Amino acid sequence: MRAWCVAFLAAASLALSGCGYNSLQQKDEGVKAAWSEVVNQYQRRADLIPNLVNTVKGYAAQEQRVLIGVTEARSRVGSIQVTPEMLNNPAQFQKYQAAQGELTQALKSLMVVVERYPDLKSDQNFRELQSQLEGTENRITVARNRYIQAVQDYNVTVRSFPVNLTAKMFGFQVKPNFTVSNEQQISGAPPVSFDTSAPAAPAGNAPPPQGQPATK
């Protein structure tokens, strides 16, 4: 009886291996590991932001709009709970990425503002923070690329015959990935204006050209 049990388990193991189950498990764990690194780098960036904002505030407290924008964007990112289930929820995944994209744009706006303050750019503390932030952005890019590749590899396996039959049987689903719109949002230049002049008067109330009488 014992020999039959061992033989059955061996046969079952070979069957699962042959139908792609083990491969699906390995690739699924690879996606989770790649995503964990993305989240880890996002968190590293979030941890740097408070010190960065406080340093800039010390030199440019009047730039409240940009400083508040960065703080609020970071808060929105922190309000989204990151769970393993997010990898199988395209809507939640997109929401998280949109929030990260807003934070990226807010940081870009902050760096544009910094260009107006030479003393701030020469501050050693700020320079160190900026260097750490730039390094983190590079790590985020690398982590995102690895995640994209891991998800692509996993999704191709899930959709390939005959492994797709095993995937359906055990609940393995196609996972969401970064989209072109994500990349466009993150790579686009932030709209920053330093125009502090009063808004132009409506066309109907515009003053007449010099030397000409006003029309009634």
| pLDDT tens digits, one per residue of 70-120 | 999 999 999 999 988 899 999 999 999 999 999 999 999 999 999 999 999
CATH of the domain at 83: 1.20.1440.20
Domain-located, residue 196: no
CB 107 within 8 A of CB 133: yes
Query: Is 114 or 6 the better-scoring residue by pLDDT?
Result: 114
**Is 48 within the bounds of a domain?**
yes
Query: Domain residues for 179?
Result: 20-190
**Tally of domains within the chain:** 1
107 close to 53: Cβ distance less than 8 angstroms: no
Tell me the pLDDT tens digit for each residue of 144-170: 999 999 999 999 999 999 899 999 999
d(CA 216, CA 207): 12
How far, in Å, CA of 73 to CA of 49, rounded? 10
Question: What percent of the chain has a predicted confidence (pLDDT) above 70?
Answer: 75
Summarize pLDDT for 11-39 with one digit per residue, the tens: 444 444 457 899 999 999 999 999 999 99
- Residue 2 has what pLDDT? 59
Closest CA to 109 of 77, 64, 75: 64
pTM for the predicted model, two decimal places: 0.75
Q: Are 190 and 108 in contact (CB under 8 A)?
A: yes
- Tokens 């330093």 belong to which residue? 194
